[in-house]
Amino acid sequence: MFEPVLLKNMDVPNGHLLATYEAGGGYQALAKALREHTPDEIIDLVKQSNLRGRGGAGFPTGTKWSFVPKQSRKPKYLCCNADEGEPGTFKDRIIMERDPHQLIEGMAISAYAIGAETAYVYIRGEYGLAIRRLEQAIAEALARGYLGKRILGSDFNFVVHIHCGAGAYICGEETAMLDSLEGKRAQPRLKPPFPAVEGLYASPTVINNVETLACVPHIVTRGPGWFRGIGPFKSPGPKLYCLSGQVRKPGLYELPMGIPLRELVENHAGGPPPGRKIKAVIPGGASAPLILERGLDVGMDFDSLAAAGSMLGSAGVIVIDDSTCMVKVATRIIEFFHHESCGKCTPCREGLNWVVKVLRRVEAGQGVPGDLEQLEALCKGIFGNTFCALGDGAAMGLKAALAHFEHEFVAHIEERRCPFH
Amino acid sequence: MREQIEVAAARYPDQRSAIMPALLIAQKEHGHLPGPVLEEVADILGVERIWVYELATFYTLFHTAPVGAFHLQLCDNVSCMLRGSEDLLAHLEAVLGIKKGGTTPDGLFTLSTVECLGACEMAPVMQVGDDYHGDLDIARIDALLERWREAAGQATAADLAAAALPGE
């Protein structure tokens, strides 16, 4: 039986309060880090743990931290990416609502490692309860000396500010987030320079996801070997999986990285509703190409899913059963990406607009011969031709739907109606 | 409003960064963000007015036009769609007598669909004010509407503008 770590306080009454967090050993990792380790040693611990970013890209966290130039005279910043917008994803919201101190402790240790004295949590403006809980937790931590000046008697100073987003999916893209934090419309920047060198206010900046930061105290307390021992060596650790869609028990599950998708969907989430069969599963949020029922034995980790032609992404697992029209699912997902395109790059802005028009007419039974080839051509025109991965995610998802469910698209065009209605 | 905005601005080394928090504060106070409010925000922060306008029109949580006292924001992204959000939208349109994007003539309800609210474990879900209402079905929606109508009968217009009625 896997012992939950990240979610251990989820069902504890008042788990969001400092007293509860402290009673469970909270802030001991911060004390240990400040007392026993130099910042470089913390970076090494995280490198040795093989922790990879939980926001979606899976970049090695310790390596990202090591890119921050140590000699820079500019202030360094830590940004927590809490702009959880990938459809099917809700893990970060639940951490912040129910165990916000876990995040704050992780941020304090991470800031100590990279030499930052200021952090911003960029959180979705919709997340009212999470915002209130995080504000309360920051105030508690400040009052208790876990934040502020000379933390726990060390010479480390650190403050955390909350910055509320205002409804733009693109802010989850780290450079768009930086522009948004600087008070601009959120549009991605060209890299290089990478944020570690030139990020917020052109200063060295590390941007980490909520779940990534929440792993850090546990790595300090239990050691990198413990973390690396859970799941695949190159992609290890406890992992939060968000189960939604047509399953009997949707919810947030903490299990080892690399667990088979089938076990997650069928055993933990209870499988599809009675009398239905699984048709496809989107394993990592709407950007991730879907996986067919016969592919469900794939391991839920960065490398296994990449090898299977999909991605772990944000681990937003969306289950689709056999009563559902895949043309409709594909249309709704592409409408989302079209709505959220920031408008900076022409292939994404105009291409997705065109894709939506074609998909809507196919779905409505008004598609014409050549529409599927048109969609393929549009995907090709978008993929790889934009500043950020928004357009790529849309194109990859649609290409997978076209490849696996071509017969459903063809049926819509030939029968001039949706066969599911 | 000025005082709250100045407190928020102190968190940043650059006043421009404070435009988003300032707009959220201003919207809470005014219900929406008409031109004069945007200009006031620009003047308080001492930033270019165009910078304020461009944020107010880029981000979907900012409303430059008035919205109803209860802004029903129903998620219609894929996880909610798979659990019946379309039927809920049709029901809301029917009982409120408006189409999505519309506001009831009494100014009580605005009906919108929104992209993923990040609460798919309780899909289908709807946000109203600061609160999420999940595991929705038609009966639950009807009960919520009744509760809000009752609350509206007892509250003053100013209370409603704040729309801070607790959800769960």
Do A30 and A167 lie in one domain? The reply is yes
The tokens describing A202, both together, are 């052109």
Contact B29, B35 (CB under 8 A): no
Q: What is the mean pLDDT of residues B61-81?
A: 97
Nearest one of A318, A296, A420, A86 to B123, comparing CA atoms = A318
At A94, is the pLDDT very low, low, confident or very high (cuts 50, 70, 90)?
very high
- Nearest CB among B47, B61, B121 relative to A244 is that of B121
Domain boundary among A228, A249, A265: A228
Asked if A286's CB is within 8 angstroms of B77's CB, the reply is yes
pLDDT tens-digit map of B3-59:
999 999 999 999 999 999 999 999 999 999 999 999 999 999 999 999 999 999 999
Asked if A167's CB is within 8 angstroms of B79's CB, the reply is no
- For chain B, which domains are there? 2-58 (1.10.10), 70-162 (3.40.30.10)
Do A317 and A339 lie in one domain? The reply is no
- Nearest CB among A182, A186, A246 relative to B82 is that of A246
| CA atoms of A148 and A27, how far apart (whole Å) | 14
Query: Is the four-CA dihedral A57, A324, A299, A80 of positive or negative sign?
Result: positive
Do A214 and A122 lie in one domain? The reply is yes
The tokens describing A255, both together, are 């299990």
Do A127 and A93 lie in one domain? The reply is yes
Residue B157 scores a pLDDT above 80: no
Please state the separation of Cα B26 from the chain's center in Å.
Answer: 13
Nearest one of A186, A138, A194, A187 to A162, comparing CA atoms = A138
Residue B166: per-residue pLDDT: 41
Element (H, E) at A181: helix A174-181
Asked if B61's CB is within 8 angstroms of A90's CB, the reply is no
Instruction: Return the SS3 of A52.
Output: strand
Contact A273, A254 (CB under 8 A): no
* Chain A residues closer than 8 Å to B82 by CB: 244-246, 318-320, 324, 329
Best mutation site among A319, A332, A363, A421 for testing chain B: the one with the most B CBs within 10 Å? A332
φ/ψ (deg, to 5) at A28: -70, -35
Burial profile A362-395: b = 16 or more Cβ within 10 angstroms, e = fewer? bbebebeeebbebbeebbebbbeebbbbbbbbbb
Assigned domain for A247 exists? yes
- Nearest CB among B21, B51, B77 relative to A87 is that of B77
Expressed as residue numbers, the domain containing A267 is: 238-321
Residue A411 scores a pLDDT above 50: yes
| CA atoms of A340 and A134, how far apart (whole Å) | 27
Nearest one of A4, A59, A68, A41 to A253, comparing CA atoms = A4
Q: Residue A370 maps to which CATH number?
A: 1.20.1440.230
Q: Would you tell me how many other CB atoms lie within 10 Å of the CB of residue B4?
A: 16
pLDDT tens-digit map of A286-316:
999 999 999 999 999 999 999 999 999 999 9
Helix axes A390-404, A346-363, angle to 10 degrees: 30
Residue B162: per-residue pLDDT: 53
Do A162 and A76 lie in one domain? The reply is yes
Best mutation site among A10, A84, A90 for testing chain B: the one with the most B CBs within 10 Å? A90
Asked if B127's CB is within 8 angstroms of A126's CB, the reply is yes
pLDDT tens-digit map of A49-86:
999 999 999 999 999 999 999 999 999 999 999 999 99
Residue B167: per-residue pLDDT: 38
Q: Residue A159 maps to which CATH number?
A: 3.40.50.11540
High-pLDDT (> 90) share of chain A, %:
99
Nearest one of A302, A399, A311 to A355, comparing CA atoms = A399
Pairing of strands A77-82, A118-123: parallel
Q: What is the mean pLDDT of residues A83-95?
A: 98
Residue B164: per-residue pLDDT: 45
Please tell me which residue of chain A has the smallest CA distance to B18.
Answer: A183
- Nearest CB among B21, B115, B122 relative to A336 is that of B115
Contact A299, A334 (CB under 8 A): no
Q: Give ipTM to 2 decimals.
A: 0.96
At A41, is the pLDDT very low, low, confident or very high (cuts 50, 70, 90)?
very high
The tokens describing A245, both together, are 């869609």
Residue B161: per-residue pLDDT: 53
* Chain B residues closer than 8 Å to A336 by CB: 77-78, 115-116
- Cα–Cα distances (Å) from A91 to A37, A314, B138, in that order, read 30, 9, 27
Q: Residue A294 maps to which CATH number?
A: 3.10.20.600
At B160, is the pLDDT very low, low, confident or very high (cuts 50, 70, 90)?
low
Assigned domain for A7 exists? no
Contact B23, B52 (CB under 8 A): yes
Q: What is the CA radius of gyration of chain B?
A: 17
Contact B55, A182 (CB under 8 A): no
Residue B153: per-residue pLDDT: 84
Do A104 and A164 lie in one domain? The reply is yes
- A52: closest CA of chain B, how far (Å): 22
Pairing of strands A278-282, A291-292: antiparallel
The tokens describing B81, both together, are 């769609």
B123-142 residues touching A, CB cutoff 8 A: 123, 127, 129-132
Assigned domain for A402 exists? yes
Domain boundary among A184, A201, A228: A228
| CA atoms of A118 and A131, how far apart (whole Å) | 18
φ/ψ (deg, to 5) at B109: -125, 135
Mean pLDDT, rounded, of chain A: 97
Q: What is the mean pLDDT of residues B131-158?
A: 89
Do A68 and A211 lie in one domain? The reply is yes
- A223: closest CA of chain B, how far (Å): 32
ω into A289 cis (within 30 of 0): no
Assigned domain for A272 exists? yes
Q: What is the mean pLDDT of residues B131-140?
A: 98
At A260, the amino acid letter reads P
Assigned domain for A12 exists? no
Please tell me which residue of chain B has the smallest CA distance to A184.
Answer: B55
pLDDT tens-digit map of A134-146:
999 999 999 999 9
Do A341 and A384 lie in one domain? The reply is yes
What one-character-per-residue DSSP string does A377-397 give? HHHHHHTT-SSSSHHHHHHHH
Do A309 and A370 lie in one domain? The reply is no
- B111: closest CA of chain A, how far (Å): 16
Contact A118, A81 (CB under 8 A): no
Q: What is the mean pLDDT of residues A77-97?
A: 98
Assigned domain for A9 exists? no
Q: What is the mean pLDDT of residues B137-166?
A: 77
Residue B156 scores a pLDDT above 90: no
DSSP H helices in A291-389:
302-307, 326-340, 346-363, 371-382
Residues in chain A, total? 421
Using a CB–CB cutoff of 8 Å, tell me whether B119 touches chain A: yes
Count of domains for chain A: 3
At B165, is the pLDDT very low, low, confident or very high (cuts 50, 70, 90)?
very low
Residue B12: per-residue pLDDT: 98
What one-character-per-residue DSSP string does B56-109 give? HHHSTT--SS---SEEEEEE-SHHHHTTTHHHHHHHHHHHHT--TT-B-TTS-E
Asked if A185's CB is within 8 angstroms of B55's CB, the reply is yes
Using a CB–CB cutoff of 8 Å, tell me whether B55 touches chain A: yes
Asked if A125's CB is within 8 angstroms of B121's CB, the reply is no
Asked if A244's CB is within 8 angstroms of B79's CB, the reply is yes
* Chain B residues closer than 8 Å to A340 by CB: 115
Residue B155 scores a pLDDT above 70: no
Do A172 and A279 lie in one domain? The reply is no
Assigned domain for A364 exists? yes
- B62: closest CA of chain A, how far (Å): 7
Asked if A184's CB is within 8 angstroms of B118's CB, the reply is no
Assigned domain for A156 exists? yes
| CA atoms of A244 and A88, how far apart (whole Å) | 6
Do A350 and A406 lie in one domain? The reply is yes
pLDDT tens-digit map of A159-191:
999 999 999 999 999 999 999 999 999 999 999
Do A333 and A271 lie in one domain? The reply is no
Nearest one of A371, A74, A243 to B122, comparing CA atoms = A243
Q: What is the mean pLDDT of residues A356-362?
A: 98
pLDDT tens-digit map of A252-294:
999 999 999 999 999 999 999 999 999 999 999 999 999 999 9
CA contacts within 13 A on the Cβ side of B141: 23
Contact B73, B101 (CB under 8 A): no
pLDDT tens-digit map of A108-156:
999 999 999 999 999 999 999 999 999 999 999 999 999 999 999 999 9
Residue B154: per-residue pLDDT: 72
* Chain B residues closer than 8 Å to A250 by CB: 79, 120-123
Asked if B119's CB is within 8 angstroms of A93's CB, the reply is yes
